[in-house]
Chains A and B, each alone.
Chain A
């Protein structure tokens, strides 16, 4: 049975059959190839995958951050009943500013170094989603009591993200802050206008483990208190497990597996997910797989069938011919792999242990690709 999106109950955001290509001198690079995903109201959903598998491109096409051309975006993105791709820039700007927020990976380059934290955040509080106020309205808001109210709101938000000494931070420039504090300022900025959807791109990965841990704890509290719907993007499966309700695993511009978090980690199904989980160094000291052979597909000339087939230890001729469908394997659970067709007996489906043993060292091998 094919898994039908949206799998989320009461979906806030659904992405259907998203295709993104990039025009280049060598032809069209088909980076995102038919991505379906959905985020329910109050749900925390993660897209996990390695570098170059299309996580950020997916996020950017949802927020219309890709320049078209060279990008070509096709598909349907629905946010709370509104089809986003057909909106005019102005209308989209309004929806985005008022109802969606984005926290970027690098806290330094997403803050303006020439303004103090207070100025930047107060501007967001006053003008978020309102980029075309006009000169008169701008001056009215900027130099009236509204500015002080907004400032008050920013201070409150900084306290909520547990920023140490918020009054002083308001008058500091981003360079004067540590990485952890910058990340907190960004989170505060993202939450100022009470968004419905928060998109977090590799939040905290640039930080040290102990600080990263603090930020994740904070994020969990904020998600609960503000009843946020979150789309997290991460390459760290451990983070996905800690924070999210449901996970999409991406490979080569396609979603290869989706499942509720617990199911995904207890029972990973797709050979890629299994290989990825087996490659993570373990605290228990169990032997670690030696990684997945080969490298991610060339998007200018992707494999015709399953994009993971050239690296998959279980690949057959069938895999190289046609793209497998997303087989439904339980509630909100789907795998894009021919091994999960009903016709295939369960005994032929690989376990993580089998995949691990396929990927542990074979002496004398010559691989050459990472």
Chain B
């Protein structure tokens, strides 16, 4: 039906501005630029991880893709079709192919419906006959490793991990191709988080699902995502293959995020870039800094950074980075340039160099 080589989801220069109204007549006085020119694409069966702190606009990206909020500018293409600000008719079709799993497993389930009823809703919407409903719901529950006892249970009887399994099952009910996962594990304990991630991996393999995985936890992404994009204040700052972003984080913000993860072994310590604590906090998206948005917190920032906005360009044919450090034109304005490879990778390189005759 479609060209397989084409990406399943193609987001181009997406913008979402929320108006700020003030005064008696509620005139729009300003805009909150939650998403400001975000571009990425995801191939079929792949996972893209969107990383960022709270307020970076990562959830807004997902909500705009699925049409929960309208886009201010840019285009979203799903399977070749332009779905930016989709019509109702388009949305109806779209939502059987794109589904979303939210962060808080409790508030996304109706407390007055049993799990069985909650799972039956999307099935009914797909036109499954009432006589088959129970069988199909049990099937769904089994897919997420829950048994049929859950049919009659209410959400409050379930633990956080179980609730999140139900949410995943509900998203799967319409047999979607793309799942938007908005921090699906951040409300869960580590041992439960590990199980949900394992489940998502299994499901991806089984149904060839495509994931947009939104998280603030970088270490979770390492095994899980094919590509990683780091967002800061509504812009993607670095995007590339996960392996590359972790082993050679180029943008100072990616480096800071990586170095801030509390890890549990010395081996992992070597996988962190040099510790560079950031100054201050994320600025308000109402009042975006001039030039590079990150310059107010960047340990390498120079005058050029506050004046000119860096372009999003590919570095060494690898990941794309939005930073002047990697721009030839600004090369002499920086006296301190980060060693890109993390210690563990640098060690390997030294070791392999010395092995050579």
Contact = CB atoms under 8 A, between A and B. Distances in A.
B261 A365 contact: no
B81 interface: no
Contacts of B222: 281-285
Given A213-B277, A291-B194, A283 B268 contact: yes
B257 interface: yes
B217 interface: yes
B159 A279 contact: no
A367 to B, nearest CB: 6
Contacts, number: 144
Contact of A288 (B146, B197, B260, B280): B197
A110 interface: no
Given A280-B194, A285-B223, 6 more contacts: A51-B189, A210-B256, A210-B260, A279-B190, A288-B194, A370-B162
Contacts of B280: 164
Contacts of A210: 53, 256-257, 260, 277-278
Interface of B: 53-54, 142, 145-147, 149-150, 159-162, 164-165, 188-198, 202, 216-220, 222-223, 243, 246, 256-265, 267-268, 271-272, 277-278, 280-282, 344
B256 A370 contact: no
A258 B264 CA distance: 16
A239 B261 CA distance: 9
30 contacts: A164-B280, A209-B261, A212-B260, A213-B259, A235-B189, A241-B262, A275-B191, A276-B191, A279-B191, A279-B194, A281-B219, A281-B220, A282-B222, A283-B222, A283-B258, A283-B261, A284-B265, A285-B222, A287-B223, A288-B197, A290-B195, A291-B193, A295-B159, A361-B202, A368-B145, A368-B147, A368-B149, A368-B150, A370-B192, A370-B195
Contact of A281 (B150, B217, B257, B271): B217
Which size bracket describes the interface of A in this complex? Answer: 35 or more
Nearest to B280: A164
Give 9 closest A-B pairs by Cβ, nearest first.
A370-B161, A238-B262, A291-B195, A291-B194, A213-B260, A290-B198, A208-B53, A279-B194, A50-B189
A242 B262 contact: yes
Nearest to B188: A370
A281 B223 contact: yes
B165 A370 contact: yes
Interface string A150-168: 0000000000000010000
A169 interface: no
B214 to A, nearest CB: 14
A211 B256 CA distance: 11
Given A178-B281, A281-B217, A283-B261, A361 B191 contact: no
Contacts of A277: 264
Most B C-beta atoms less than 10 A away, residue of A217, A291, A368, A370: A370
A237 B217 contact: no
Nearest to A311: B191
Interface in A260-304: 265, 275-277, 279-285, 287-292, 295
Contacts of A280: 190, 194, 219, 264
A290 B257 CA distance: 25
Contacts of B195: 290-291, 367, 370
A320 B153 CA distance: 29
Interface string A211-236: 11110110000000000000000011
Interface in A162-192: 164, 178, 180-181
Contacts of A212: 260
A180 B272 CA distance: 23
